[in-house]
Amino acid sequence: MDTLFAPWRMAYIEYAKVGKEQGCFICNATKSDNLEENLVLYKGKHVIILMNKFPYNTGHLLIAPNRHVADFAQLSDEELLALSKALVQSIEVIKRAFSPDGFNIGVNLGRVAGAGLESHLHIHVVPRWNGDTNFMPVIADTKVIPEALKDTYRKLIKHVEIFKTFETMH
């Protein structure tokens, strides 16, 4: 039998047990000054961009309004515009850092739709590469993330200068 060590999974398992007691991880990241610990790439007036701590793929980002809202209908025009600009620029940052072949972009509204955090709206940006789906997910129901989160953070943070202007652009 082959053994695949994925020590980061224990953090996910433990978070699933106590995560709700710790509050909203997006709100916590928005309030924190420790950007790297929270994997925050950008914090602006209306939005936050952070890496997913339990990614589907290397470079998986989350874009969320700073306000704790669950649905697009609760957002102001400024927040909607900021989310849209953050999405466009997040794609550009990932392209610069990793040169993916494509992207999956999505929003899960409600638990039945797959939302792990249904009370704080967030957009998933998942880079994809030709050949990134191999036998592991198909045969072993296991996804292998080939890079440590901190290494991915360091690659992405080099390119975030693009975020410094987008909320002031009109």
- Distance CA(111)–CA(117), nearest Å, equals 8
Residue 120 designated active-site: no
Per domain, the residue ranges of the chain are: 8-166
Q: Which fold has domain 8-166?
A: HIT family, subunit A (3.30.428)
- Distance CA(121)–CA(67), nearest Å, equals 9
The active-site residue, picked from 46, 60, 120, 122, is 122
- pLDDT tens across the length of the chain (170 residues): 555 666 666 766 665 555 555 789 999 999 999 999 999 999 999 999 999 988 888 999 999 999 999 999 999 999 999 999 999 999 999 999 999 999 999 998 888 877 788 899 999 999 999 877 654 554 456 666 777 888 888 888 888 877 766 555 43
